[in-house]
């Protein structure tokens, strides 16, 4: 191993989650470093950037809803702070979302979602098909009704990632553009990593934020490795005309033949259509079938998309966890913390993750709102001791 360079906090992974952790840690005065061959890359280069706490609500995920809402509430200040600091426009757009139904089954499903939202104290409004089309004239005549959610917004995740890199640089975060090959453990404590070229990076605390690769770092004890898996998502990007008013003025989404499809219109004129959900390991091939299904389903919602230029197709990997919620905070190995498993809400959860990780790095304790997301909920030892007698 060559020379060792040390920091207070070393973050493995420079996706949006690692970057926000590093930025907030550096703001607290920690000497902070990030190790990643390509900081600012990762799933954010593909993600749609919906900030959809309300429309993404699922049965059994009410605990996650609390964290999602806590992060959504932070977004206006978070985005303003990042833009002021870096000068980057994040494409943050408080445009709202319309979830629509194309047939009777979809409508029943949306009605259930509406009921669940109301039970959870969330704001959403049921609209007839005609009311939906009045809001979004490009919608297909077959739309049978929908849910208007004015509180679910969007941001451009590529811009967010770029701004977070700039914010880290301003705050003095050191970037090691390398692959972390192995965690170093000294006297039962995480002490840093060894990079692919054999350089040792030492640290007081190590945060593993490797997205879908978080469960694969060598040197991490078996019972501490996060149970994170890659969930592939393919996305298509089109360009909207600027001529006669907006093509779409808010995010439109639906479940078509059992698959989720959404159209996210950015102020820049980009229209993001996503996303497939495939359990195929670390494969990021864009397939004809994936693109076909996205365009077919999106076309049922908004027939006019077939006229638009197709600008990009891409696939990325969501870091999925067993309960679809993130793993935040200390592990069973002293000095090793996790910030991973954000699955389909990593963009939404960026602000609250940064605050929670900075808090736990400084105090050793997760803040109240993040406590249910301790990685220890998956450790066998904890599960056994928490069994009722
Ligand atoms: C198609 C798609 C659509 C999505 N849409 C949305 C959405 O609308 N709203 C939303 O909130 N979320 C969305 N997401 C989810 C969101 O993008 C992710 O949850 C989030 O980007 C995860 O960020 P991350 O930093 O944890 O991981 P990643 O982005 O995967 O970043 C991990 C980083 O760690 C690095 N790394 C890993 N291992 C090592 C190592 N050993 N050494 C050095 N570096 C390492 C990698 O190079 C990478 O840069 C979507 C995701 C996809 C794929």
Q: Do 183 and 220 fall into the same domain?
A: yes
| Same-domain check for residues 254 and 131 | yes
Hey, CA dihedral for 104, 106, 108, 111, is it positive or negative? negative
How far is ligand 1, taken at its centre, from the CA of residue 328, in Å? 15
Give Rg (Cα) of the chain. Answer: 21
Give pLDDT, residue 381: 52
- Do residue 252 and residue 379 come from a single domain? no
Query: How many angstroms is it from 257 CA to the middle of ligand 1?
Result: 27
Spell out, as residue ranges, where the chain has pLDDT lower than 50: 383-389
pLDDT at 258: 79
HSE of 236, CA atoms in CB hemisphere, 13 A? 25
Cα 13 to ligand 1 centre (Å): 9
* 241 and 313 belong to one structural domain: yes
The residues lining ligand 1, judged by C-beta closer than 6 Å to any ligand atom, are: 12-18, 35-36, 38, 41-44, 46-50, 179-180, 209-213, 217, 233, 235, 274-275, 316-319, 340, 342-348
Residue 122 lies in a domain: yes
Shared-domain flag, residues 123 and 268: yes
Angle of helix 62-86 relative to helix 157-170, nearest 10 degrees? 60
Q: Identify whether 68 is part of a domain.
A: no
Name the domain boundary from 266, 288, 320: 320
Q: Which atom, in ligand 1's list, is nearest to the CA of 39?
A: 49
Same structural domain, 235 and 380:
no
- Helices marked H in 120-230 — which ranges? 129-135, 157-170
The token duo for 116 is 């669940």
Q: What is the CATH number of the domain that holds 216?
A: 3.50.50.60
Clarify whether residues 380 and 236 are in a common domain.
Answer: no
Provide the pLDDT for residue 301.
96
Residues 135, 100: Cα–Cα separation, whole Å:
12
Residue 54 resides in a domain: no
Domain that holds residue 20: 7-45+159-227+322-385
Domain count, the chain: 2
For residue 299, what is the enclosing H or E element?
helix 288-301
Residue 376 lies inside a defined structural domain of this protein: yes
pLDDT digits (tens, 9 = 90+) for 103-153: 998 899 899 999 999 999 999 999 999 999 999 999 999 999 999 999 999
Output the pTM of the full model: 0.96
Q: Tell whether 14 is covered by a domain.
A: yes
Ligand 1 mean position, distance from CA 388 (Å): 37
299 and 364, same structural domain?
no
Alpha helices by DSSP H, 62-156: 62-86, 104-119, 129-135
Given 270, 285, 320, the domain boundary residue is 320
Residue 71 lies in a domain: no
Q: How far apart are CA 112 and CA 38, in angstroms?
A: 42
Looking up residue 275, the CATH number of its domain turns out to be 3.30.9.10
CB atoms within 10 A of CB 87: 9
Residue nearest to atom 40 of ligand 1 (CA): 180
Asked if omega into 275 is within 30° of 0 (cis), the reply is: yes
Residue 163 belongs to a domain? yes
Distance of CA 70 from the midpoint of ligand 1 (Å):
20
Residue 51 included in any domain? no
**3-state SS class at 89:** coil
């Amino acid at each position: 191993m060559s020379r060792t360079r040390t920091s207070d906090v070393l973050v493995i992974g420079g996706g949006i989650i690692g970057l926000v952790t590093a930025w907030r840690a550096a703001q607290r005065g920690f000497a902070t470093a990030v190790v990643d061959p390509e900081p600012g890359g990762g799933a954010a280069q593909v993600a749609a950037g919906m900030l959809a706490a309300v429309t993404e609500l699922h049965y059994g995920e009410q605990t996650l809803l609390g964290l999602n809402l806590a992060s959504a509430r932070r977004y206006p200040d978070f985005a303003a702070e990042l833009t002021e600091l870096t000068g980057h426009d994040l494409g943050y757009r408080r445009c709202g979302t319309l979830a629509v139904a194309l047939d009777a089954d979809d409508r029943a499903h949306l009605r259930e979602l509406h009921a669940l939202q109301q039970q959870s104290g969330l704001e959403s409004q049921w609209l007839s098909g005609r009311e939906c089309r009045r809001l979004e004239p490009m919608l297909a005549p077959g739309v049978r009704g929908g849910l208007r959610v004015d509180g679910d917004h969007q941001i451009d995740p590529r811009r967010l990632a770029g701004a977070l890199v700039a914010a880290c640089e301003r705050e003095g975060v050191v970037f090691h553009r390398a692959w972390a090959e192995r965690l170093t453990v000294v006297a039962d404590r995480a002490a840093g990593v060894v990079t692919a070229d054999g350089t040792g990076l030492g640290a007081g605390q190590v945060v593993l934020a490797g997205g879908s690769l978080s469960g694969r770092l060598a040197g991490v004890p078996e019972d501490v490795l996060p149970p994170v898996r890659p969930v592939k998502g393919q996305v298509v990007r089109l360009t909207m005309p600027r001529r006669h008013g907006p093509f779409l003025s808010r995010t439109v989404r639906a479940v078509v033949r059992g698959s989720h499809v959404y159209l996210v219109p950015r102020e820049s004129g980009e229209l993001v259509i996503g996303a497939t959900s495939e359990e195929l390991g670390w494969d990021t091939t864009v397939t004809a079938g994936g693109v076909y299904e996205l365009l077919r389903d999106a076309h049922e919602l908004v027939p006019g998309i077939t006229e638009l230029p197709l600008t990009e197709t891409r696939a990325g990997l969501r870091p999925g966890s067993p309960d679809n919620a993130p793993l935040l905070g200390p592990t069973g190995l002293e000095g090793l913390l996790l910030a991973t498993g954000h699955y389909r809400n990593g963009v939404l959860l960026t602000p609250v993750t940064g605050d929670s990780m900075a808090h736990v790095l400084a105090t050793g304790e997760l803040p109240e709102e993040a406590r249910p997301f301790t990685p220890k909920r998956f450790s066998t030892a904890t599960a056994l001791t928490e069994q009722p007698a």
